[in-house]
A and B are shown apart, each in its own frame.
Chain A
Amino acid sequence: MSRFRAQLVAELQVVRRNGEQLLLTLGIPVMLLAFFSLVEVLPTGTDDPVDFLAPGVLALAVMSTSMVSLGIGTGFERTYHVLKRLGATPLGRPRLIAAKIAAVAVVELVQFAVLIPVAYALGWSPASTNWPLAVAAVLAGTTAFAGIGLTMAGRLRGEINLAALNGLYLVLLLLGGMVIPFAKLPGAVRAVAHALPSGALADVLRETLGGNGSQPGTSWLVLGTWAVATPLVAARLFRWD
Chain B
Amino acid sequence: MAAVEVDGLTVRYGDLVAVNDASFSAAAGQITAVLGPNGAGKTSTIEVCEGYRRSAAGTVRVLGLDPTTNQREIAQRMGVMLQAGGVYPGARVADTVRHYCALYGKGADAQALVQQVGLADRARSTWRRLSGGEQQRLSLALALAAKPQVAFLDEPTSGVDVNGRDTIRGIVRALAAEGCAVILATHELDEAERLADRVVIFDQGQIIADGTLTELRRGHDEIRFRSSPALDLHALATAIGMIASQVGPDEYVIDAPPHPRLMATLASWLADHGHPLTDLRAGSQRLEDVFRRLTAAKQDPTKHDGAA
Chain A interface (Cβ < 8 Å from any Cβ of B): 1-3, 5-7, 9-10, 13-14, 17-18, 76-77, 80-82, 84-92, 241
A9 CA / B103 CA spacing, docked (Å): 11
Confirm or deny: B86 has a beta carbon within 8 angstroms of a beta carbon on chain A: yes
CB nearest neighbor in B for A7: B103
Say yes or no: B103 contacts A80, CB within 8 Å: no
Say yes or no: A90 contacts B91, CB within 8 Å: no
Say yes or no: B95 contacts A13, CB within 8 Å: yes
Query: B255 to chain A: closest CB distance in Å?
Result: 44
- Mask, B40-80, CB within 8 Å of A = 1, is 00000000001110000000000000000000100110101
A157 CA / B275 CA spacing, docked (Å): 59
Which residues on B sit within 8 Å (CB–CB) of A77? Answer: 88
Q: B105 is contacted by which of A3, A17, A92, A241 (Cβ under 8 Å)?
A: A3
Which residues on A sit within 8 Å (CB–CB) of B88? Answer: 10, 14, 77, 80, 82
Which residues on A sit within 8 Å (CB–CB) of B104? Answer: 89-90
Say yes or no: B84 contacts A89, CB within 8 Å: no
Confirm or deny: B229 has a beta carbon within 8 angstroms of a beta carbon on chain A: no
Say yes or no: B86 contacts A85, CB within 8 Å: yes
Q: Evaluate whether A82 and B105 lie within 8 angstroms (CB atoms) in the complex, with A90-B72, A90-B76 already known.
A: no
Confirm or deny: B102 has a beta carbon within 8 angstroms of a beta carbon on chain A: yes
Q: Evaluate whether A85 and B142 lie within 8 angstroms (CB atoms) in the complex, with A9-B99, A10-B95, A14-B88 already known.
A: yes
A13 CA / B52 CA spacing, docked (Å): 27
What are some 30 contacts across the A-B interface (CB < 8 A)? A1-B102, A3-B103, A3-B105, A5-B102, A6-B103, A10-B95, A13-B91, A13-B95, A14-B90, A14-B91, A77-B88, A80-B85, A80-B86, A80-B88, A80-B89, A81-B82, A81-B84, A82-B85, A85-B80, A85-B86, A85-B87, A86-B103, A87-B52, A88-B51, A88-B52, A89-B75, A89-B100, A90-B75, A90-B103, A90-B104
Which residues on A sit within 8 Å (CB–CB) of B78? Answer: 88
CB nearest neighbor in B for A81: B85
Which residues on A sit within 8 Å (CB–CB) of B82? Answer: 81, 84-85
Query: A2 to chain B: closest CB distance in Å?
Result: 8
Q: How many residues of B contact A (CB 8 A)?
A: 27
Which residues on A sit within 8 Å (CB–CB) of B146? Answer: 89
Query: B176 to chain A: closest CB distance in Å?
Result: 20
Which residues on A sit within 8 Å (CB–CB) of B95? Answer: 10, 13
Query: B90 to chain A: closest CB distance in Å?
Result: 4
A87 CA / B71 CA spacing, docked (Å): 9
CB nearest neighbor in A for B86: A85
CB nearest neighbor in A for B76: A90
- New A-B pairs, 10, CB < 8 Å, besides A80-B86, A81-B86, A88-B80: A1-B102, A10-B88, A13-B91, A18-B90, A81-B84, A81-B85, A84-B82, A86-B103, A89-B75, A90-B76
CB nearest neighbor in A for B146: A89
CB nearest neighbor in B for A3: B103
Which residues on A sit within 8 Å (CB–CB) of B51? Answer: 87-88
A81 CA / B83 CA spacing, docked (Å): 10
A7 CA / B146 CA spacing, docked (Å): 16
A40 CA / B105 CA spacing, docked (Å): 56
Query: A122 to chain B: closest CB distance in Å?
Result: 34
A87 CA / B50 CA spacing, docked (Å): 9
Q: Which 8 A-B pairs have the closest CB atoms?
A: A85-B86, A6-B102, A81-B85, A88-B80, A17-B90, A89-B103, A1-B102, A90-B76
Say yes or no: B90 contacts A91, CB within 8 Å: no
Which residues on B sit within 8 Å (CB–CB) of A91? Answer: 103
Which residues on B sit within 8 Å (CB–CB) of A88? Answer: 50-52, 75, 78, 80
Which residues on B sit within 8 Å (CB–CB) of A82? Answer: 85-88
Say yes or no: A90 contacts B90, CB within 8 Å: no
Query: A83 to chain B: closest CB distance in Å?
Result: 9
A71 CA / B91 CA spacing, docked (Å): 18
A1 CA / B52 CA spacing, docked (Å): 26
Say yes or no: A80 contacts B87, CB within 8 Å: yes
A14 CA / B88 CA spacing, docked (Å): 8
Query: A91 to chain B: closest CB distance in Å?
Result: 5
B residues 149-192 in Cβ contact with A at 8 Å: none
Say yes or no: B105 contacts A90, CB within 8 Å: yes
A188 CA / B23 CA spacing, docked (Å): 63
CB nearest neighbor in A for B106: A90
Say yes or no: A10 contacts B91, CB within 8 Å: yes
Query: A3 to chain B: closest CB distance in Å?
Result: 5
Which residues on B sit within 8 Å (CB–CB) of A81? Answer: 82, 84-86
- Mask, B100-113, CB within 8 Å of A = 1, is 10111100000000
- Mask, B173-216, CB within 8 Å of A = 1, is 00000000000000000000000000000000000000000000
Which residues on B sit within 8 Å (CB–CB) of A1? Answer: 102
Say yes or no: A84 contacts B86, CB within 8 Å: yes
CB nearest neighbor in B for A88: B80
Query: B150 to chain A: closest CB distance in Å?
Result: 11
Most buried by A among B52, B90, B146: B90
A82 CA / B96 CA spacing, docked (Å): 11
Q: Evaluate whether A10 and B99 lie within 8 angstroms (CB atoms) in the complex, with A82-B85, A85-B86 already known.
A: yes
